[in-house]
């Protein structure tokens, strides 16, 4: 019987897996309605008092997404004031969804990566992940990889979709 050879493992094909950089517990969403009267009304004195007594240390080294789950009308400064309290602890504070914060996390990670291992090599941008990597992150990643890779495919080695080939 002939030995089965794994041609993918023996090729120069490089896999770029965004799941390797998934933030797991590094991104947290914080609902500002917890500091509103009845969850919907901002009373400035009470709002400021509650922010002062909040334990912000639980957000140490986190990306924090500030949002309001209630249909409250908040003054423009409300999120900024919460950010003032978070800033000494959090790595970054954004106003928006947790997904937006995850995208921001990836943008920062992708900007810091060293892509020299992928120089002039065929790359698969792994597309089947167990974690929910936002689609926008794939768009960010391919722009970085295009600068160095010989070619880029999306998916898995067994069913990759060609996306880019250096001319």
Strand pairing of 151-155 and 161-165? antiparallel
Task: Say how far apart CA 68 and CA 131 lie, in whole Å.
Answer: 25
Long-range own/partner contacts, residues 68-76 (CB < 8 A, 24 or more apart): 68/31, 68/32, 68/33, 68/36, 69/31, 69/33, 70/33, 70/36, 70/39, 70/40, 71/40, 72/33, 72/36, 72/39, 72/40, 72/41, 72/42, 74/32, 74/42, 75/42
Task: Say how far apart CA 74 and CA 40 lie, in whole Å.
Answer: 9
- Is 5 a residue whose pLDDT tops 80? no
Q: What is the pTM of this model?
A: 0.86
Per-residue pLDDT reduced to its tens digit, 66-76 = 999 999 999 99
pLDDT (0 to 100) of residue 94 = 97
Per-residue pLDDT reduced to its tens digit, 95-125 = 999 999 999 999 999 999 999 999 999 999 9
Domains of the chain, residue spans: 14-23+113-165, 24-101
pLDDT (0 to 100) of residue 11 = 65
Confidence of residue 12 (pLDDT cuts 50, 70, 90): confident
């Amino acid at each position: 019987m002939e030995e089965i050879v794994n041609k993918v493992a023996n090729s120069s094909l490089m896999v770029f897996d965004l799941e390797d950089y998934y933030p797991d517990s590094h991104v947290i969403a914080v609902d500002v309605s917890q500091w509103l009267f009845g969850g919907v009304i901002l009373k400035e004195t009470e709002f400021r008092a509650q922010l002062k007594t909040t334990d912000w240390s639980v957000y140490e080294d986190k990306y924090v997404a500030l949002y309001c789950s209630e249909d409250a009308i908040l003054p423009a400064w409300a999120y900024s004031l919460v950010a003032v309290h978070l800033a000494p602890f959090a790595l970054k504070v954004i106003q928006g969804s947790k997904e937006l914060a995850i995208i921001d996390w990836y943008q920062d990670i992708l900007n810091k990566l060293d892509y020299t291992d992928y120089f002039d090599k065929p790359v698969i941008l792994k597309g089947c992940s167990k974690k929910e990597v936002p689609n926008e992150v794939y768009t960010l990643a391919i722009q970085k990889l295009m600068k160095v890779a010989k070619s880029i495919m999306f998916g898995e080695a067994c069913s990759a979709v060609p996306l880019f080939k250096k001319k």
